[in-house]
């Protein structure tokens, strides 16, 4: 009997007609144009491979994925009882889907067998629920992908490293095969294509060719409208000067905006994996500008975008020619013997190495340190460990041996894969199927402004940190010193971000316990970038403060207190307590008595990979 209060009605004529009329002649013409543009895109991909400029490494990548998922399959299929359990679990899900679909076809009320997460933007179009065909596709996908992920999580007998890799690759495959990624199975893509008579596909494939050309044979996905931003024009515009330059870095000093400033200057050591201006985006988001406006004397390292000339620079050279040289120059410019230092991500790892090295030398110039999303212990370093086993590192080292560096595009691709559902597939759909330019977004413009990794430095980092975890084990040797973080007794402000895919908060928490002095562990909402770049004026996210850095992260979090808004003011209060003395700002003219080498943001940051 038909339910008069049916909450899942069959698709109406209006629903089915929502895709609109089609001009068959125009559609056919555009399909021909799309095929032509697709051929151009394919040629752009093949050309640099045919002339030897690009060597395909897809075989190694696919082999690693197949090998990892193969071990997972072997685990479940090697035991008949486990195999039956896996098959029964999947069959049960599809039986529920079959039952609910039959009920819905009969006009009865039917509870979905699987529903997407409310935060999942892929299935927000009403057709995914109102049209039974698309609803069936959606639920079948959700059942299958969740089943596959469950197999990984329940593979208790699988070696942890293989299980981690299998989990990563299963999630990549799951994100890739979503019906939202294909024209024939995405209702909004069908609607757009029919409404534009295929013109969207022509535009999309033109953009695809452009992005393959921009990547010199590899697809460089555009995530932002790059025409809207320029470094030094509307990004990285905080007034300052280049006060020193060597082959490894430019040292920037920013112009004071207050009548007096803290006597003790601060030195920011950003990651060289990305460019420093993530901390100096638009003026409204700039951490550097905010610091200057709070009365701080700010120095920032801007790393060179390395080429083959830097191939033999390792951690020792980056440390000595980066933060250690910066300390020398800050002393000459300001006359100060004490500095507060900030390190971000791998810049924080280098700063931690520097702290241990200086402690071994009896050098006390850095008197407090702040670490943003920084790991010093890499046992629980998250999904990046997938790319840091012996096989992967050997492949990376082989790649670097050809040119003396690891291409920035490959590093960017690895970071994007950590959040492929947000950073890859939506842009593939929007750009190359809808044919739409992405919206301007300063953070994603910066994200795409990739840097290269020098050969010796990157190899040292991958092996000593990710592969062997030598720093917290007291086995890392830099120069003539075996480093011991317990000798670092200065106060440390340790910031982790709760949704960090690069430096997970648990990993940061474990590393915070490796230092020998007082550590203030603070947890920010959001992720690796947005959790750090969170100006107070935006009144966004939150942060947590808890007890001492001891025991487990989970126990610390359970006892922590949530505070609304940005952590920046809490950090500033902590910093001022370390050294509250102030001096007139006119004593902090950039460069002091030296003639500056140019305006901030300098020249190194403008070099494209």
Q: What is the DSSP string of 174-241?
A: HHHT-GGGSGGG-HHHHHHHHHTTTHHHHHHHHHHHHHHHHTTTS-----S-GGG--BTTTBS---EE
Helix ranges, 390-450 (H): 390-403, 408-418, 420-423, 425-432, 442-448
Per-residue burial over 149-167, b if 16 or more Cβ lie within 10 Å, else e, is: eebbeebeebeeebbbbbb
Distance of CA 471 to the CA centre of its chain: 23
Predicted confidence at residue 63, as pLDDT, reads 82
Q: Would you tell me how many other CB atoms lie within 10 Å of the CB of residue 539?
A: 11
Nearest Cα residue to 289 out of 257, 327, 323: 257
What is the set of active-site residues?
345
- Close Cβ partners of 467 (under 8 Å, ≥ 6 residues apart): 388, 389, 390, 393
Q: Tell me which residue of 353, 360, 358 sits closest to 376, measured CA to CA.
A: 353
Q: Please state whether beta strands 266-269 and 339-344 pair in parallel, antiparallel, or not at all (unpaired).
A: parallel
Burial class (CB in 10 A: 0-12, 13-18, 19+), 345: buried
Closest CA to 545 of 501, 579, 495: 495
C-alpha 114 chain-centroid distance: 30
What pLDDT does 10 receive?
42
Measured CA distances, 12 to 102, 131, 140, 179, 261 (Å): 17, 8, 22, 22, 68
Rounded to whole angstroms, how far apart are CA atoms 217 and 48? 6
As a whole number of angstroms, the distance between CA 529 and CA 443 comes to 9
Ramachandran region, residue 362 (left: φ > 0; alpha: ψ -120 to 50; beta: rest) = left
Q: How far apart are CA 373 and CA 386, in angstroms?
A: 19
Question: pTM value?
Answer: 0.92
Report pLDDT for 550: 95
Helix axis angle, 80-105 relative to 132-153, nearest 10°? 160
Quick one: pLDDT at residue 9? Answer: 44
Distances (CA, A) of 256 to 196, 535, 570, 578, 587: 54, 19, 22, 20, 10
Q: Rounded to whole angstroms, how far apart are CA atoms 154 and 165?
A: 14
Q: What is the pLDDT of residue 59?
A: 65
Structure tokens at 77: 């299929």
Alpha-carbon distance 219 to 48, whole Å? 12
Q: What is the mean pLDDT of each run of 10 residues along the chain (609 residues)?
A: 40 49 89 94 90 72 86 93 94 95 88 93 94 95 96 92 93 96 95 94 96 90 92 97 98 98 98 96 97 98 97 97 98 97 98 98 97 97 90 92 91 88 94 95 93 96 97 96 98 98 97 98 96 95 96 96 97 96 96 95 95
**Measured distance CA(145)–CA(173) in Å, rounded:** 9
What residues are paired with 266 via a beta bridge?
298, 340
Give the whole-angstrom CA distance, residue 276 versus residue 346.
Answer: 12
Please list the helix, strand and coil fractions of the chain in percent, rounded to the nearest 5, in that order.
50, 10, 35
């Amino acid at each position: 009997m038909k339910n008069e209060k049916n909450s899942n009605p069959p698709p109406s004529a209006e629903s089915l007609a929502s895709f609109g009329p089609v001009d068959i002649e125009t559609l056919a013409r555009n399909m021909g144009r799309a095929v032509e543009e697709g051929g151009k895109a394919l040629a752009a991909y093949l050309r640099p491979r045919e002339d030897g400029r690009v060597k395909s490494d897809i075989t190694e990548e696919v082999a690693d994925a197949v090998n990892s998922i193969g071990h997972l399959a072997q685990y479940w299929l090697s035991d008949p009882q486990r195999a039956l359990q896996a098959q029964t679990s999947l069959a049960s899900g599809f039986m529920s889907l079959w039952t609910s679909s039959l009920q819905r076809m009969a006009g009865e009320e039917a509870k979905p067998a699987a529903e997407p997460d409310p935060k999942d933007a892929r299935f927000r179009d009403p057709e995914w629920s109102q049209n039974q065909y698309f609803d069936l596709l959606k639920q079948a996908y959700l059942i299958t992908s969740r089943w596959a992920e469950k197999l990984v999580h329940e593979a208790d007998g699988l070696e942890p490293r293989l299980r981690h890799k299998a989990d990563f690759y299963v999630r990549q495959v799951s994100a890739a095969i979503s019906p939202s990624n294909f024209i024939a199975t995405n209702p909004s893509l069908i609607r757009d294509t029919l409404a534009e008579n295929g013109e969207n596909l022509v535009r999309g494939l033109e953009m695809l060719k452009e992005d393959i050309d921009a990547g010199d044979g590899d697809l460089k996905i555009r995530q932002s409208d790059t025409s809207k931003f320029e470094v030094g024009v509307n990004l990285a515009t905080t007034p300052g000067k280049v006060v020193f330059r060597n082959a490894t870095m430019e040292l920037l000093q920013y112009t004071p905006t207050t009548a007096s400033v803290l006597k003790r200057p601060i030195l920011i050591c950003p990651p060289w994996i990305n460019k420093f201006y993530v901390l100096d985006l638009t003026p409204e988001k700039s951490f550097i500008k905010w610091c200057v406006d709070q009365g701080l004397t700010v120095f920032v390292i801007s790393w060179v975008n390395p080429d083959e000339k830097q191939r033999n620079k390792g951690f020792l050279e980056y440390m000595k020619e980066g933060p250690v040289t910066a300390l020398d120059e800050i002393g000459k410019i300001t006359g100060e013997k004490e500095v507060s230092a900030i390190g971000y991500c791998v810049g924080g790892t280098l700063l931690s190495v520097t702290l241990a090295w200086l402690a071994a030398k009896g050098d006390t110039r850095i008197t407090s340190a702040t670490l943003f999303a920084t790991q010093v212990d890499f046992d629980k370093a998250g999904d990046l460990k997938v790319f840091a086993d012996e096989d992967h590192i050997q492949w990376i080292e082989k790649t670097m041996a050809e040119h003396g560096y690891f291409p920035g595009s490959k590093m960017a691709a690895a970071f994007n894969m950590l959040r492929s559902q947000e950073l890859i597939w939506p842009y593939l759909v929007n750009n190359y199927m809808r044919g739409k330019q992405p919206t301007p977004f300063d953070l994603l413009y910066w994200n795409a402004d990739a840097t290269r990794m020098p050969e010796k430095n990157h190899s040292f980092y991958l092996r000593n940190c990710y592969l062997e975890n030598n720093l917290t084990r007291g086995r890392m040797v830099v120069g003539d010193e075996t480093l011991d973080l317990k000798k670092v007794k200065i106060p440390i402000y340790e910031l982790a971000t709760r949704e960090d895919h690069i430096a997970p908060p648990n990993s940061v928490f474990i590393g915070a316990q490796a230092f020998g002095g007082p550590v203030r562990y603070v947890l920010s909402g959001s992720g690796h970038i947005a959790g750090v770049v969170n100006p107070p004026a935006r009144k966004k996210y939150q942060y947590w403060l808890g007890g001492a850095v001891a025991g487990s992260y989970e126990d610390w979090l359970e006892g922590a207190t949530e505070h609304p808004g940005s952590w920046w003011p809490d950090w500033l209060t902590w910093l001022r307590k370390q050294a509250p003395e102030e001096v007139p700002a006119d004593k902090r003219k950039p460069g002091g008595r030296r003639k500056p080498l140019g305006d901030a943001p300098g020249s190194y940051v403008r070099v494209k990979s």
